[in-house]
Amino acid sequence: MLLLVLLAFFLFYAVVPTVVIRVFSLRIYKKGNKRNTIALTFDDGPDSIYTPRLLDLLKKYQVKATFFVVGEKAKRHPDIIKRIHQEGHEIGLHNYRHISNWFLLPFFLSRGLRKSADIIEQMIQERPIYYRPPWGHFNLCTLPLQKQYKTVMWTHILRDWKEHVGVLELFHRLKKCQQDGSIIVLHDSGETFGADANAPENMLAALELFLKEGYAQKIRWVTLSEMLNAQNKKQIS
């Protein structure tokens, strides 16, 4: 009986809200509306090895991106956070620890996001306004939080966290993501649960192959603020 009660609570608290929010796009962004623009976004960092290499690559091809960072990692790597900001990229939140919202009570979720935003604001003097929940998981209490943060999902998620996908397969998946207003998710860290530690190596190689292509060089690679017309964004207090 207790097991059935716990299962019912889990479905009501976690699974059903996730399905409803994602199916009906409740207070979430999945795509922009500007022609010839694509937003590259990177989750799970910053990573001491892969994020600096990624920044070098983006700088080489003059691409701007948005990084959804894990708060505790940001705290460990302030120099990387500052570099991301100084090179014209945008920073969003990806929970204080990479834990699914299915297993976080409202107080801990809210406190973790506030703590992460405080950490980043102290480093770059700008408070993040974008949020992406790990694994795209919501819960019954995330809708109020979505009034505070612009919650951004994706148009394309390429499963680059698995090493077996390989460079060429990932390159071909990137080539299929060229619709106007696409929001692409890649990962600059392989430390999270279910990811392969060396998978970002394939991501970097595939992304460089893609950015070398002539058609990729004609795309305007933009931050989320530019894509979502949020230039006059309000800072969260």
Predicted confidence (pLDDT) per residue in 118-135, tens digit: 999 999 999 999 999 999
Burial of 26 (0-12, 13-18, 19+ CB in 10 A): middle
What's the CA gap between 71 and 53, in Å, rounded?
20
DSSP letter (8 states) at residue 101: G
Residue 33 has pLDDT above 70, yes or no: yes
Looking at every residue in the chain, the average pLDDT score rounds to 92
What was the pLDDT predicted at 230?
A: 44
pLDDT above 90 covers what percent of the chain? 82
DSSP letter (8 states) at residue 146: T
Nearest to 163 by CA among 187, 180, 185, 182: 187
What was the pLDDT predicted at 154?
A: 97
Residue 235 has pLDDT above 80, yes or no: no
What was the pLDDT predicted at 150?
A: 94
pTM, rounded to two decimals: 0.94
What was the pLDDT predicted at 2?
A: 74
CB 187 within 8 A of CB 203: yes
Residue 237 has pLDDT above 70, yes or no: no
CB 209 within 8 A of CB 171: yes
Which phi and psi angles does 151 have, rounded to 5°? Answer: -90, 120
Active site residues: 43, 187
**Mean pLDDT value across residues 192-213:** 96
Contacts of 7 (CB under 8 A, 6+ apart): none
- DSSP strands (E only) in 80-237: 90-93, 130-131, 150-152, 156-157, 182-187, 220-221
**Mean pLDDT value across residues 143-148:** 83
Residue 192 has pLDDT above 60, yes or no: yes
C-alpha dihedral sign at 95, 96, 99, 103: negative
What's the CA gap between 64 and 51, in Å, rounded?
14
What was the pLDDT predicted at 236?
A: 38
CB 167 within 8 A of CB 209: yes
pLDDT tens for 68-109 read: 999 999 999 999 999 999 999 999 999 999 999 999 999 999
pLDDT tens for 150-189 read: 999 999 999 999 999 999 999 999 999 988 999 999 999 9
